[in-house]
Structure 1
Amino acid sequence: MPQIALVKPAAGATLAFSQREPDGQIFPTRQEIRAEVTGGDGYAEVTFALQRASRPGQLELLGTDDTPPYRVFWRPTADLAPGDELTFIATVNDLRWHVVSTQIERVKVAPTATAFGIRGATVPAITAAPPAAASLRVGELLTLTVAAEGTGPLEYQWLRDDAEIPGATDAALA
């Protein structure tokens, strides 16, 4: 069974970003988010996500890597609030029903004059989520509804057991 540890950045770290200017174009630098996986047979994928303290319960997908070293390179979005604490989450899946997660908390971004992302753009945030659990009688219909705000157009995709439900791409699922 695989085990996972986030090794970069450290919990409580403050990430500093600068910029580089190749050929007259200005690009903000990125930070490596890296996990180490032990155990298992060496075949796995690691999914990285981010949670902001200002948006509890909402995750932002950073990416997936299926080859060691397991890592993604990240830079903040334009709407990251100064001083917002971040939690980075890494989940390893060996594709044999073994899934393990770890996280590091209290990560911050150092103040900088560097612009990130598209000015004025906002990462979608869920404003109304469906219930985590529901009790139904046999034959009773359940409609799940979600609402989100952010720079659009926004797209929806409902999942069941980590798989996309074909055609379930509206804000409501019956």
Structure 2
Amino acid sequence: MVGGLPGEQLKDALASLALADIVVAATPVYKAGFSGLFKSFVDVMDDLLIGKPVVLAATAGSARHTMVADDRLRPLFTFMRAVTFPTAVFAAPSVWADPALGRRIERAATGDTVLLSAGVEERIVQRSWRGYQHQFGSNFAHAEDAGDLDFGSPLMRLATGGAPGTIPAQS
């Protein structure tokens, strides 16, 4: 990941994520936030989650971190343009055996299933894809739809390794 060349396992994980109907994003809490490994994986997702229903979940050693899913994960997945249902799931050792945890998981799963059946992802991607794409080389399945980008503009020539007044050779 540091070198920018994803290995086969990472490519396979991203491909599986692209095909998922619903994503359960769960992380252990570390220093009142998500783990570094979790964030590193999110960093390579690019536009894979646009419009995709996501269940937010976290676990920690105590109930002091109950708000991590809403305080840390929700803004992160909003930035990724995922659709998160209002019910997040948090579990600490004190509630693992509590039936209320099961009901909360069921509420979150039901909410995201409703989003899926409503076709939220398809509608967002089909109606707004050009407005949501934020970088080149995305892993998102619709990234090849470059739309009306002007690859001959001076800025794009610079971005592809050419000088502003030249057009780089096409391979």
Between Structure 1 and Structure 2, the one with more helix by share is: 2
Report the TM-score range of the alignment, normalised by the length of the smaller protein: under 0.3
TM-score by length of 2: 0.24
TM-score by length of 1: 0.24
Between Structure 1 and Structure 2, the one with more strand by share is: 1
